[in-house]
Amino acid sequence: MLSLYHEARSPVHRSPAGAKLAVLLAVGTGLFFVRSIAALGAVLLVVALCYAVAKVPARVGLRQLRPVLPVLIAIVIAQLVLTGWVTAVLVGQRVLVLVALANLVTLTTRTSAMIDTVEAVLRPLRPLGVRPERVGLLVALTIRFVPVLKEQADQVRAAHRARGLRGTRFLTPLLIKTLRLADGLGSAIEARGGPD
């Protein structure tokens, strides 16, 4: 379904989501202080090793990296022209490490564990009026209604095409349908015991 999670049994999968995110944050910050191609090369190797430990096949890891490639190439070329090849390689390595590591967290952590972590991170904000348990409900509602709205969008577009209309004019009817759906959904939440 709507998830990038890659099922496997590994120490990386078992580690708590919060710990993985903390490591990611620490590495992300630390990277900016490493200014040697060899050292960053070593870090990249360690990341690759983590993928192996997590039993994520290279194919799956690379598939997640592919969308970042155009941006990465553009940056490296820009650096090459502007500052020279050393910085170009350093910047390329840095982006690669960060994105690969972040993807690994995503691939090895269930959506539900991520939601729990987000709720935990938000808990200190409670005095400011933030309701962490609401976040879980909102995420669930969104996941539930993406296919419903996708279907509506397809229907509205098909109806427009049938009448020879093109472009973005399907947006207005789609939005009005969505607002109407919100009326019904609001009542349904209320009827079924309210948001909390």
Partner 1 sequence: MRSKDIALVALFAAIMVVLGLVPLIELPLVPAPFTAQTLGVMLAGSILGARRGGLAILLFVVLVVIGLPVLPGGRGGIGVILGPTGGFVLAYPVGAFVTGLITEWLWRRYNLAAALLANAVGGALVLYVIGVPWMSVSAGLPLGKAITGSVVFLPGDLAKVIIASLTAVTVRRAYPLVKPA
Partner 2 sequence: MIELENVHHDYGDHKVLGGISLTLAEPRIAIVGANGSGKSTLARLLNGLLLPTSGRVRVDGLDTKKDGKAIRRKVGFVFQDPDIQIIMPTVAEDLDFGLKRHGLTRERRAAKVTAALLEHGLDQHRDHPAHLLSGGQKQLLAIAAVLITDPTHLVFDEPTTLLDLPNRHRVTRLITGLTQQVVLVTHDLDLAATADRVIVLDHGTVFADGPPARSIDAYVALHTA
Interface with partner 2 (CB under 8 A): 1, 140-141, 143-144, 147-148, 181, 184-185, 187-194, 196
Shortest Cβ distance from residue 181 to partner 1 (Å)? 6
78 binds, options partner 2, partner 1, none, Cβ within 5 to 8 A by partner type: partner 1
Taking the least distance from each CB to partner 2, the nearer of 87 and 112 is 112
Taking the least distance from each CB to partner 1, the nearer of 70 and 164 is 70
Residue 107, Ramachandran bin (φ over 0: left; ψ between -120 and 50: alpha; else beta): alpha
Q: Give which of 158, 51, 29 is closest to 101, Cα–Cα.
A: 51
Shortest Cβ distance from residue 52 to partner 1 (Å)? 18
Taking the least distance from each CB to partner 1, the nearer of 36 and 187 is 187
Neighbours of 155 (CB within 10 A): 14
Shortest Cβ distance from residue 45 to partner 1 (Å)? 18
How many Å apart are CA 54 and CA 39, to the nearest integer? Answer: 23
167 binds, options partner 1, partner 2, none, Cβ within 5 to 8 A by partner type: partner 1
Q: Give which of 143, 150, 29 is closest to 97, Cα–Cα.
A: 29
106 binds, options partner 2, partner 1, none, Cβ within 5 to 8 A by partner type: partner 1
Q: Confirm if 7 and 56 have CB atoms less than 8 A apart.
A: no
Q: CA Rg, the chain, in Å?
A: 22
**CA–CA distance from 21 to each of 89, 98, 168 (Å)?**
26, 12, 39
What letter does residue 129 receive in the DSSP assignment? T
Taking the least distance from each CB to partner 1, the nearer of 43 and 101 is 101
Shortest Cβ distance from residue 173 to partner 2 (Å)? 17
Shortest Cβ distance from residue 33 to partner 2 (Å)? 42
